[in-house]
Structure 1
Amino acid sequence: MDIRAGLITAIVFLVIGAVLVFRSGYTVWLSARRLTFYRIKRQRERGGLFVILISIMLFGFAVLLYMFGEPVAYRYFPPSLTPSPTPTITLSPTITLSPTITLPPTITDTPSVTDTATVTPTPFIPPAIEVLFVSEVTPNPAAVFSPLQFTLNCSNFNDYTPATVFQAPVRYMCAVFTYDGMSANVQWTALWFRDDELVHFETLPWDGETGGFGFTEWEAPAEEWLPGVYEVQLFVGLDWKVVGQFILQGDAPTAEPTPSLTITPPPS
């Protein structure tokens, strides 16, 4: 048994002894109160209180052992160093090379055409649209946008049907998104492309809230909605935020010819 274990054992026995002695003294003190003779009663009470005092001293000694016993014991009985075992070197097995079979060389067909990876350009605002900026508010770099959802009717943000493929003819399209971290009056821009050709845009100071639902829309005659892959790009200032695509299928209606007035001079 080491010093720490011995101290813990002594403290436990002292506490148990203090409890038993206190119980004995308290019993004697209670029994003295029921005696009739004053002198015997006083003697019993003093004896009970004396036993209770001894129990308190035992408990106090247990507390002193708990707080200061181990440092004092190590002062007079310093712990001896235990030599640590010296690690031994274990030889690891060596790898023995086994003979390998060498295969004869084979002829590999080399493709005559090699596909070259294409570089996808990062969306940017054309200079012709950038010159239309009127806001001088610095964009918040922490502003975020959700992916775009396209619908033919966004009058109610809680009840709309998003899709990625639409059938012609259409006259209106809306891109719905959620956002957060927008600054008031910051310039924002939406670019609409059809097969990489800019067909519509809007750029204006932000007049919405800091966060919530937003949308960008395009309304045009049905004959202007030609089939193809449409892409919508959103920017805050010059910072690109989100891109979304949808497909328009079917043939657009043919524009009706506009009658022209021709003046025929009277015969001379």
Structure 2
Amino acid sequence: MDIRAGIIVIAIFSVVAAYFVVQAGIKNYQTARKISFYSLRKRYNRNSIYLFLFSIFLLYFAYWLPTSGEQIVYQVFPPSPTPSLTPTITLTPTITLSPTITLTPTQTITPAVSDTPTLTPTPFLPLAIEALFAGPVTPNPDAVFTSIQFSTEFDGVNPVNPRTSFELPIETIYGGFDYNNTLPGVQWSALWYRNRELVCYETEPWRNEWGTGGIGGYTECSSPIGGWLPGQYEVVIFMGYDWKTVGRFSVLDRLETETPTSTSTPEITATP
């Protein structure tokens, strides 16, 4: 391959790369429109602008290289004369065909009913939450969390009168748990879902003061997206990318109490 052919190949690759960069920018922008959190949406929009600018640079580079850049390349790598090749005559051996044995395919019976069990969905971290990670994501594989207990009050150690259903109005719900074999610094996350939609979250590196085991761990949510609404809620706790425990509760609408109404009984006056 000579220098000019190499320049043309690089220019073509630049155009193809610009196409994929534009696609990535469009996908990043579409993802930003689906994010409810302003700071994340702003970050995704900024990344989309950077990708679009980079694609413009690649297109300009693909145009500039064959037109003006080729002369610069020749100054750095001057072309050298290539010797002409003298063709030589080579003898091509003939191929002798030998008969092959054709095997008769056998029929495989496929059972109509499969005994393979179906799998339940495994909790996973959304990309918007992963973008907020500030600590290591490799937890201790022996880290364990107890089941989550929910309450509207927390005494600093345990939820007060834990329940699995709550009635509106609600200000804050706490999810309490105990833990063991945790590593300080590893990113941990608590995701709150309502009817499988993320409405509240917290994520940060595991603090040193929390230690590697203890009681009184909790996560709380006081301002879910859209406020507290009736529905089925689920809280998933992760250490790094590994989910450790899941808790569920339901929120019921306010129960209306009937106000008793008084009925007047007519008095009958007997006239003699």
TM-score, scaled to structure 2: 0.47
Structure label with greater radius of gyration: 1
TM-score, scaled to structure 1: 0.48
